[in-house]
Structure 1
């Protein structure tokens, strides 16, 4: 037995218009979808050939699958130009014989109608898609124009005596944000220092454990060490401090540290923007 796909690919180039592989002891499923120029296909008398696939909207006018085990005829839906087909089991010729011509004609016309419908549907879908894209593009443009107008309004309110300039507005906003954030960072840092001082007083001889917990959490936030390992370390420290420092008090301290670290990170990013300009 010969693998049908390998035989066809080894003996027929993709642009061939005729495939004659009758009585070649072929087996398996045959995919001819990459042979769009075929007009005649003869793969009859191959009793182990079990399936066939054709190129969509192919040019085939004559085909024989007589003497094969092909029993799925869905490939007929791709045959817009078919004139004659020899069926797989009986060898019955559809198309030329008396009383059978209308069958091939019906297959051909059905395929052509289906192709026209599918093509019309694709064109309709493409038109709708183009319209939707244009609508989205128009909406995006309107949003941009609105945003630009709002920015100009903001600038005019803030700097009424100056001509609008986006770069200047951006720099002024960065500067104002820095002026707002810097004292907030200082205040929250002072609160954190106070909480640390109180926690260490309560911890007494175990005050170094407070430092260890804070440093461990800082590493977690900065992702410098595996979080699982550090989380276990924090839990161990909390257990050690349990007799002198309530878990709730320690959590307030840790939350404040997170808040301060995030504020400092934000302030640093703003400072970098200022330095760039």
Structure 2
């Protein structure tokens, strides 16, 4: 027996129009898809030849696979102009040789229709597979997001637990003989904070008053400007409206230019900074006492 592919490629160039290899003891699969110029293929009486593949061609008009093992005729889908076919079983000749042109046409069209159906089915399967892959990816992405959210939730729960433990510890420190009560704990913290801030506010107030007196004494005839610049700065600290603050800043610059003739920039800035610190402390203390 001879390998069919090796025999044909060794004896027939790719540009031939006729291949005749009757009783050549061929076996296996024969692929003639690169023989695009064929008009006739006769490979009968090769009992171990199992399958055949042809190039899509309008030139092939005759095929003989008489007494071969070929039982799949899908290759006919590529030969729209076939006139005669010798089938593997002895006596089965379809086409011009017996006048059965209709049978030849029916067989060819049946193979062609089967090929179309298979092609459409493959295309449909690819589309379905693509859609399925997309849905699977969406599900996978959603599952991943769910895992991420679960992880975030666990982290938040852990943080909340830690914060609650810290609050409990703080409650035990502030209210050692009382069960945990958020309202009481808040009140106790405020009370302690007020106790801490009240003396600081008094101390800062004393410092600010002293600095103001020193600035007024040094400013002499411009002592009233010291009051004006401090009052304007107080309004800036207490007022959050942008339009008003712009007006106050303009006044500040005017007062500053006057006072810099009798006070150094450092002295004036120290006074303003100290009053700002005092006002912020005082504001904080008042908010706790509400």
Is the structural similarity TM-score above 0.5? Answer: yes
CA RMSD after TM alignment: 2.1
Deviation at 1:242, TM superposition (A): 1.8
Match of 2:222 in 1: 206
Quick one: distance in 1 between partners of 2:217 and 2:174? 49
Residue 258 (str. 1) matches residue 276 (str. 2): yes
Select which of 228, 253, 256 maps to 1:238: 256
Question: Over residues 137-184 of structure 1, what are the superposed CA-to-partner deviations in whole Å (9 max), with x where a residue is unaligned?
Answer: 122112112211122122223433333322221111111111111111
Give yes or no for contact 2:174–2:188 (8 Å, CA) kept in 1: no
Residue 157 (str. 1) matches residue 173 (str. 2): yes
TM-score normalised according to structure 1 size: 0.59
Match of 1:223 in 2: 240
Select which of 254, 261, 269 maps to 2:287: 269
Quick one: distance in 2 between partners of 1:160 and 1:200? 51
Deviation at 1:240, TM superposition (A): 1.2
**Uncovered stretches (5+) of structure 1, i.e. residues with no partner:** 1-95, 273-277
Match of 1:249 in 2: 267
Question: Over residues 227-277 of structure 1, what are the superposed CA-to-partner deviations in whole Å (9 max), with x where a residue is unaligned?
Answer: 3332222122121122210111111111111111111111111001xxxxx
Match of 2:130 in 1: 114
With over 3 angstroms needed to count, the CA separation of the structure-2 counterparts of 1:256 and 1:101, relative to structure 1, is same
Q: How does 1:171-186 map to 2 (within 5 A)?
A: 171-186=187-202
With over 3 angstroms needed to count, the CA separation of the structure-2 counterparts of 1:166 and 1:103, relative to structure 1, is same
**Uncovered stretches (5+) of structure 2, i.e. residues with no partner:** 1-111
TM-score normalised according to structure 2 size: 0.56
Query: Mean Cα displacement is larger for which, 143-152 or 190-199?
Result: 143-152
Give yes or no for contact 2:219–2:259 (8 Å, CA) kept in 1: yes
Give yes or no for contact 2:218–2:263 (8 Å, CA) kept in 1: yes
Matched residue SS, 1:226: helix
Give yes or no for contact 2:233–2:248 (8 Å, CA) kept in 1: yes
Q: How does 1:39-58 map to 2 (within 5 A)?
A: none
Quick one: distance in 2 between partners of 1:247 and 1:140? 51
With over 3 angstroms needed to count, the CA separation of the structure-2 counterparts of 1:103 and 1:236, relative to structure 1, is farther
Match of 2:153 in 1: 137
Question: Over residues 157-213 of structure 1, what are the superposed CA-to-partner deviations in whole Å (9 max), with x where a residue is unaligned?
Answer: 343333332222111111111111111111111111111111111110011111111
Quick one: distance in 2 between partners of 1:261 and 1:269? 12
